[in-house]
């Protein structure tokens, strides 16, 4: 989902619900864990009741709604649409607790990547790429964006569209945005703008209020558009007379390709980058992640592809990034930055880039991250973990091989019970312990 400027301790679009989209509409490093966090939700509601949002005590929603009408009308919403939509809603005040929710588990980068570049997403992504080959081919011709990058982003954002209207994870967007515009003083102007954008979408006949279902912060559809993106970057790619991020993925993927191209400055024909091996003694100035050089210039300094292959485009400019000390290093180019523009977290961009390579048929990273002694579990192994946990009374929300917040909570609860580190990670060490315990 394109970035949302919301302050939070969470910062990284990390989808945590089983099968749910990566986040709830904020753009912040460990943050797509905003769904289903019961403890954080309770804490947020306590804070709300204690006056955590002072604006609520100063002005009633009804008074704010009456006063906001003139603002919305000045910005292009018809008075008839405003009255019809806004007079019928109550603010969804649950959003305040979700906004304040803290991550339930802190993931190491290798765990973050393993969950997002999972066997399920690789297998399902390849299937979707085959099913949508004609659409993806047209998008590549029209926008120049790598189709596997689009499929990877689709998979991380909404599990390939499987949860875009699931009430377990999604909620009506307009009541949520109305609550934020009324009761969130820190970013009031932003939320007012997004509420106005949502009302303009209704005004244009692109969606009814009931159809606008999304995260607590207003992100919607296959690739989790905020209303501003829907309104200004969306494309009627299926030529049905309206732009929609729901239904068939045509409009959503086209709008996302256009976003990467126009706002992310995507360059057709360039790779996102690659994993590299570093020579000894590389200076600190080379390692700061700011210097742009061509692949050939990096090679002259001893930086080589980790898989031993030659750089395919020696003249393309990239910069050197090593996200974890002692871990793999990467040369990342303009198209990595384009993905980063969609969500400003390095871990998110690396997950999308790597998932796109794996869906294409590429290999796992050559080098391990510190602490990552175990490989990524297979789909069958994740399903076995879920079955065993469920049998022991730890609800995983299903046994489909996808690890989200429900499975993570079940894992964490089991880990605490048996004395393991409660990191919520469904890995091979956990599976071995489950097998021993049974």
CATH number of the domain that 349 lies in?
1.10.530.10
The answer to the question of residue 204 being in a domain is no
**Domain containing residue 429: CATH number:** 1.10.101
Q: Are the C-beta atoms of 220 and 230 separated by less than 8 Å?
A: yes
Q: Give 105 or 115, the one with higher predicted confidence.
A: 115
Classify residue 38: in a domain, yes or no: no
- Residue 425 above 90 pLDDT? yes
Residue 249 lies in a domain: yes
Positive or negative torsion for Cα 272, 275, 280, 284: positive
Give 438's pLDDT tier (boundaries 50, 70, 90).
Answer: low
Q: Report how many domains make up the chain.
A: 3
Residue found by looking up tokens 């020579």 in the block:
279
Dist CA 242 CA 233 (whole Å): 13
Residue 44 lies in a domain: no
**Lowest mean pLDDT across 37-51, 175-189, 312-326, 381-395:** 37-51
For 125, the domain range is 108-170+218-272+334-375
288 within domain boundaries? yes
Handedness of CA 112, 117, 118, 121 (dihedral sign): positive
Same domain as 420, residue 384: yes
58: pLDDT confidence band, cut at 50, 70 and 90? low
pLDDT value for 280: 87
Q: Does residue 13 contact residue 23 with C-beta atoms inside 8 Å? A: yes
The answer to whether 59 and 70 are in contact (CB under 8 A) is no
Q: Output the CA–CA distances (angstroms, integers) from residue 103 to 154, 328, 350, in the order listed.
A: 23, 25, 20
pTM of the model: 0.86
Residue 373 phi, psi (nearest 5): -75, -20
Give me the numbers of helices (H) and strands (E) for the chain, helices first please: 19, 7
Measured distance CA(238)–CA(270) in Å, rounded = 27
């Amino acid at each position: 989902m394109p970035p949302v400027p919301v302050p939070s301790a969470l910062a990284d679009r990390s989808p945590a619900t089983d099968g749910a989209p990566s986040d709830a509409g904020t753009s912040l490093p460990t943050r797509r864990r905003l769904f289903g966090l019961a403890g954080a939700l309770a804490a947020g509601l306590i804070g709300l009741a204690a006056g955590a949002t002072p604006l609520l005590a100063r002005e009633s929603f009804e008074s704010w709604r009456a006063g906001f009408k003139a603002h919305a009308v000045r910005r292009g919403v018809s008075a008839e649409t405003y009255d019809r939509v806004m007079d019928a809603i109550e603010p969804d005040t649950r959003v305040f607790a979700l906004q304040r929710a803290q991550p339930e588990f802190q993931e190491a980068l290798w765990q973050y990547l393993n969950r997002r570049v999972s066997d399920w997403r690789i297998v399902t992504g390849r299937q979707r790429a085959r099913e949508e080959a004609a659409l993806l081919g047209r998008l590549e011709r029209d926008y120049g964006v790598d189709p596997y990058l689009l499929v990877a982003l689709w998979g991380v954002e909404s599990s390939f569209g499987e949860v875009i209207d699931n009430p377990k994870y999604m909620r009506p967007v307009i009541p949520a945005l109305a609550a934020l515009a009324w009761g969130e003083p820190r970013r009031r102007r932003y939320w007012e703008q997004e509420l106005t954008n949502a009302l303009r979408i209704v005004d244009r006949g692109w969606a009814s209020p009931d159809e606008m279902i999304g995260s607590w912060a207003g992100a919607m559809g296959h690739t989790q558009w905020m209303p501003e993106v829907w309104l200004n970057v969306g494309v009627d790619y299926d030529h049905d007379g309206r732009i929609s991020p729901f239904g068939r993925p045509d409009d959503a993927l086209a709008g996302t390709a256009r976003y990467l191209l126009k706002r992310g400055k995507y360059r057709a024909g360039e790779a996102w980058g690659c994993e590299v091996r570093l020579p000894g003694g590389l200076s600190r100035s080379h390692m700061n992640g700011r210097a742009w050089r061509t692949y050939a210039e990096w090679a002259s300094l001893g930086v080589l592809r980790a898989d031993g292959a030659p750089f395919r485009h020696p003249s393309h400019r990239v910069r050197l990034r090593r996200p974890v000390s002692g871990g793999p290093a990467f040369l990342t180019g303009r198209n990595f930055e384009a993905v980063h523009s969609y969500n400003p977290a390095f871990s998110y961009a690396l997950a999308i880039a790597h998932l796109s390579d794996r869906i294409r048929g590429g290999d796992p990273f050559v080098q391990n991250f510190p602490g990552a002694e175990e490989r990524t579990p297979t789909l069958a192994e994740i399903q076995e973990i879920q079955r065993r946990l469920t049998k022991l009374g730890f609800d995983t929300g299903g046994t489909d091989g996808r690890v989200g917040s429900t499975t993570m909570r079940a894992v964490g609860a089991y880990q605490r019970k048996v004395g393991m580190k409660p990191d919520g990670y469904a890995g091979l060490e956990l599976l071995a312990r489950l097998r021993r315990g049974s």
